[in-house]
Structure 1
Amino acid sequence: MPRYFFHTSDGSRDQDDVGVELNDAATARREAIRYGGSLLHDNPEIVDAHGGLRIEVVDESGVFCAAVLIQAVDADQARGRAA
């Protein structure tokens, strides 16, 4: 079973050196989404502190498989971008 690694970035990069054995890249992508949810559950400010959270999934060869990007946008920010 292949091993996938979940590197996180929220202003600083946290390299996953352990990884998890999963069936395939699609399963790893879903696991990254769950992992992001657990990080937000424990610390919702993680998104506000550094403009977002990125969870990058790579396989055991270091090949990029997927990324989960979590960002919060306030109404004032959205209006400013649309103008």
Structure 2
Amino acid sequence: MPRYYFHIHDGHSIIDKDGMVLADTSEARRKAIRISGQYLDNDADVVSLGEEWRMEVTDERGLILFRLDFVVTDAASVGGSFKG
């Protein structure tokens, strides 16, 4: 089974040197979403307004298979009320 690496970039890089052996890219994608959610939940202030946070998932050769991008942006009507 292939090994996948989950690298985080948020102004500095956290490089995954160990990786995880997973069945396929679909399982790696699900794992990346869970890891991202846990990371962001543990430190909700990690993404400042306008700052980019991303996770790149690579294979054993270092080829980026996919990435998850998170950016916090202000709504166009800051201070307005939501009518839904």
Q: TM-score, normalised by structure 2?
A: 0.83
Matched ranges for 1:44-59 at <5 A: 44-48=44-48, 51-59=51-59
Please state how far the C-alpha of 1:31 moved relative to its aligned partner.
0.9
Task: Give me the whole-angstrom Cα distance separating, in 1, the residues matched to 2:77 and 2:15.
Answer: 31
Which of these two proteins has the greater Rg computed from alpha carbons? 2
Please state how far the C-alpha of 1:36 moved relative to its aligned partner.
0.7
Task: Give me the whole-angstrom Cα distance separating, in 1, the residues matched to 2:4 and 2:66.
Answer: 11
Please state how far the C-alpha of 1:41 moved relative to its aligned partner.
0.8
Q: Which amino acid in the other structure matches residue 23 of structure 1?
A: A
Tell me how many residue pairs correspond in the alignment.
Answer: 78
List runs of 5+ in structure 2 lacking aligned partners. Answer: 79-84
Task: Identify which range, 10-19 or 45-54, moves more after superposition.
Answer: 45-54
List runs of 5+ in structure 1 lacking aligned partners. Answer: 79-83
Partner of 2:39: 39
Determine helix, strand or coil for the equivalent of 2:47. helix
Matched ranges for 1:14-33 at <5 A: 14-33=14-33
Higher helix fraction (1 or 2): 1
Q: CA RMSD in A?
A: 1.9
Greater than 4 Å deviation, 4+ residue runs = none
In percent, how many aligned pairs have the same letter? 37
